[in-house]
Amino acid sequence: MNPENGTKKKLISALLELMQSRSVSDITVKEIAYMARVSRRTFYSYCSSINDLLKQHLMKLSSSMIESCHRQENLTLELYIEQFFSFWSSNITIFKLVLNDPNIHSMQIFNKLLDFIEIELESILPEPMTKTSDYISVFFSGGVFSMVEKWTKSDNPESPKQMADMCIKIINGLSSIPPV
């Protein structure tokens, strides 16, 4: 194993463990370094701040979801959305920690993922929606993000398949609106 990856994993694990009981703004680099059994200097060799460490981790998660989608052949909108919800279902702990921390601007942290959603949607949107695809993809990516946010807060969440079906019903309703 690459020692760099091991150290980074320890730093992230320490941060996530601390986030379970406190806001990011109440966590110190010293605490993360202590829990990860590294020096503060080592911490700063991997990231510039606690928020940077968290952002790097979320970017890595987002990249793995994006790569997973790109490995799929004949990716339909339904499968894409189902994969998206499945991904967040398997990473629900980190997603909840980020969403529940009032000091983290979750939409900013997930910008790379939202950008990806917009790009992917343009290539798989139903034909009647292509004339307004820029607006629809922005609208939809923000909407899906908000749906994931509400879904993760639910005590008895729907399955990723059920969420994908719900999104498709919404899209089909939007596609019946004539372009302006």
Q: Which fold has domain 51-175?
A: Tetracycline Repressor; domain 2 (1.10.357)
- Write the pLDDT tens digit of every residue in 69-95: 778 777 777 888 888 888 888 888 887
> Hey, where are the domains in the chain?
1-46, 51-175
Query: pLDDT tens digits for 36-55?
Result: 999 999 999 999 999 889 88
Q: Which two tokens stand for residue 43?
A: 């911490």
Give me the CATH topology for the region 1-46: Arc Repressor Mutant, subunit A (1.10.10)
96-109 pLDDT, tens digit each: 777 777 766 665 66
Please state, in angstroms and as integers, the Cα–Cα distance from residue 60 to each residue in 95, 153, 168, 175, 180, following that order.
13, 23, 27, 33, 38
The per-residue pLDDT for 1 is 46
Average pLDDT of the residues in 109-135: 61
Question: Torsion-angle region of residue 179: left (phi > 0), alpha (psi -120 to 50) or beta?
Answer: beta
